[in-house]
Amino acid sequence: MNFDYSPEDQAFRAEVRAWMQANAPRDASGKATGMRIGKETQFAWEKKLASKGWLAWSWPKEFGGTGWSATQREIFDTERALAGAPSIMPFGVMMLGPVLMQFGTKEQQQRYLPKIAQAEQVWCQGYSEPGSGSDLASLKTQALRQGDKYVVNGQKIWTTQGHWAEWIFCLVRTSTDGAKQQGISFLLIDMKTPGIEVRPILTIDGHHHLNEVFFTDVEVPVENLVGAEGQGWTIAKYLLGHERTGIAAVGDSKRQLSWLKESVARDVALKDDPHARRRITELEVDLMALEYTNLRTLDSMSRGHAPGPESSGLKIKGTELQQAITEVQLELGGHDAMPWQSEIDGDPVYRAANTRYNFLRACTIYGGSNEIQKNVLAKVLIGL
């Protein structure tokens, strides 16, 4: 693909930048500190994007999306990040949407996709279980068919924004015959269904992102099955390819690195320090390589190809880079970077750097641990 930006791309960038500067939520000015924004701010932001027609920014037009090219999508996400605007909750737009386009029935597409694109339905993901994280195929949550419904019993864990969600897409076990991957199915479950309990998990950054979700005799209509029974593992791998591409977070890394460079440039002691310049240059080189790989992946996806093993590579390098940037922020920020979610005056890049550093220890684990991703690359690319 051509990495040069055309005049049309430059005009598109100018349009997106102007809109973001005018519309990014001002109460998300924790942008430079990495502070988490609240439910009301997040929902209002996504409604604003939906009214502009930009919430389903990665979807083709036929399903209510923007139909943007890979380059336009990269420009949009970069300008969104540089404006300090929140990222979009990924579960509906980035994960379930592509799954329904590929595996859903016409009825399911017509029922769910418009609501996702218009920010009228909030989703979460029910994959991991106690003892079934990296070894996801060992999951035990059971869905037994009884006539025109499934009865679901089990537990999910690390359910991001499960306390906000109205619906959850779940991997469930519908059979114990054969290989463990063959008995998994993909169900859509209304979170208001009797028998569902959500319990909070507080993370090291002091926020409530995660939850445990318990299912006790939860009745789910059979028409909420996506694909065929036993096809859940295939669907799960397809979805995870899209998730891992997003976890690379190229736009957000560009934002953090840009603000770090600006902070160093303002610091008399650091701006000419060769160690600081070397550390930032190393991050810039790694980020440029990641960005080009991401663009190639987006271009392939825009031509109808599902994310391949490159999504595992993006996940590995993207999360390692996120961690590396926070390490340099702590290293160069010194005492200014030590407070925990500090609201005191000082360089905004370094405020709460400690919080970001600790929370992002998890990014190499969620979405499939980086060790598992290396095994995927070894198997698919090398044949080991």
pLDDT, tens digit, 9 for 90 and up, residues 66-80? 999 888 988 999 999
Residue 278 falls inside a structural domain: yes
Catalytic residue among 46, 129, 243, 291: 243
Answer yes or no: do 217 and 287 share one domain: no
Residue 15 falls inside a structural domain: yes
pTM: 0.85
Residue 188 falls inside a structural domain: yes
Residue 240 falls inside a structural domain: no
Q: In the prediction, which pLDDT does 185 show?
A: 98
349 pLDDT above the threshold of 70: no
Residue 100 falls inside a structural domain: no
Q: In the prediction, which pLDDT does 232 show?
A: 96
Q: In the prediction, which pLDDT does 341 show?
A: 58
pLDDT tens digits for 232-268? 999 998 887 766 666 778 888 988 898 888 888 888 7
Looking at every residue in the chain, the average pLDDT score rounds to 87
Residue 54 falls inside a structural domain: yes
C-beta separation of 367 from 247 below 8 A: yes
Answer yes or no: do 19 and 138 share one domain: no
| Strands (E) located in 69-161 | 123-126, 142-146, 149-156
338 or 238: which leads in pLDDT = 238
Q: How many helices (H) and strands (E) does the chain have?
A: 12, 8
Answer yes or no: do 253 and 196 share one domain: no
Q: Which residues contact 153 (CB under 8 A, 6 or more apart)?
A: 141, 142, 215, 216, 217, 218
For position 284, which CATH number holds? 1.20.140.10
Three-state DSSP at 119 gives coil
Tell me the CA distances in angstroms from 305 to 123, 249, 316, one per residue in order. 25, 20, 21
Answer yes or no: do 231 and 256 share one domain: no
Residues 224-251, buried b or exposed e (16+ Cβ, 10 A)?
bbbbebbbbbbbbebbbbbbbbbbbbbb
Answer yes or no: do 258 and 216 share one domain: no
CA distance 120 to 114: 8
299 or 156: which leads in pLDDT = 156
Residue type, 148: D
Note if 243 is an active site residue: yes
Angle between helix 274-302 and 250-266 (nearest 10):
160
Answer yes or no: do 207 and 281 share one domain: no
- pLDDT confidence bin for 384, thresholds 50/70/90: low
Residue type, 114: P
Answer yes or no: do 279 and 360 share one domain: yes
Answer yes or no: do 217 and 336 share one domain: no
The phi, psi pair for 156, rounded to 5°, reads -115, 155
Q: In the prediction, which pLDDT does 31 show?
A: 43
Residue 98 falls inside a structural domain: no
46: containing domain: 7-88
CA quadruple 68, 74, 79, 80: dihedral sign: positive
* CA dihedral of 174, 315, 168, 180, whole degrees rounded to 10: 10
343 pLDDT above the threshold of 80: no
Answer yes or no: do 225 and 285 share one domain: no
DSSP letters spanning 340-380 = SS--SSS-TTTTTHHHHHHHGGGTTTTTS-HHHHHHHHIII
Domain count, the chain: 3
Q: In the prediction, which pLDDT does 34 show?
A: 45
Answer yes or no: do 141 and 75 share one domain: no
Residue 113 falls inside a structural domain: no
Answer yes or no: do 174 and 145 share one domain: yes
Answer yes or no: do 173 and 252 share one domain: no
Q: Which residues contact 147 (CB under 8 A, 6 or more apart)?
A: none
Q: In the prediction, which pLDDT does 377 show?
A: 83
